[in-house]
Structure 1
């Protein structure tokens, strides 16, 4: 359970990982040691499954990416 929760925390704090996940979620997940059920839950966006597999009751899922471009 800690693996999924740790991965989700890293997605929220590691900009490079978040960008890679945005571009290729399956590829990023294939490079983790998460179980197939955990990977499937994240990819499906099924919040109830993610909560159950992570052990965290207070899980919220968003998919917001803020990008800054310099001119």
Structure 2
């Protein structure tokens, strides 16, 4: 799994990191050796840019409900 994904998982589990200042998060990203472009996307709270940097396409799902049953 990608280092940035591991970092985001850790951030979600650590309340201090989740609510930390931008400077603290930036330092934690650098300490985790996250790539500069990915750091920038995380600090900007830009999931679309991070998804693009990771090479992931948006996930779409469609739910089809069956029609009413006629007697």
Q: Tell me the distance in 1 between the aligned counterparts of 2:54 and 2:11.
A: 14
Mark the runs of 5 or more structure 1 residues left unpaired by the alignment. Answer: 59-71
TM-score by length of 1: 0.58
Q: How many residues align?
A: 56
For the pair shown, which has the larger CA radius of gyration, 1 or 2?
Answer: 2
Higher relative contact order (CA 8 A, sep 6+): 1
TM-score by length of 2: 0.58
- Are residues 1:39 and 2:39 paired? yes
Aligned-CA RMSD value: 2.3
Mark the runs of 5 or more structure 2 residues left unpaired by the alignment. Answer: 60-71
Deviation of 1:18 after TM superposition, in Å, equals 2.8
Q: Deviations over 1:8-67 (max 9, x none)?
A: 111111234334xx1322222221111111101111222211222345656xxxxxxxxx
Higher helix share: 1
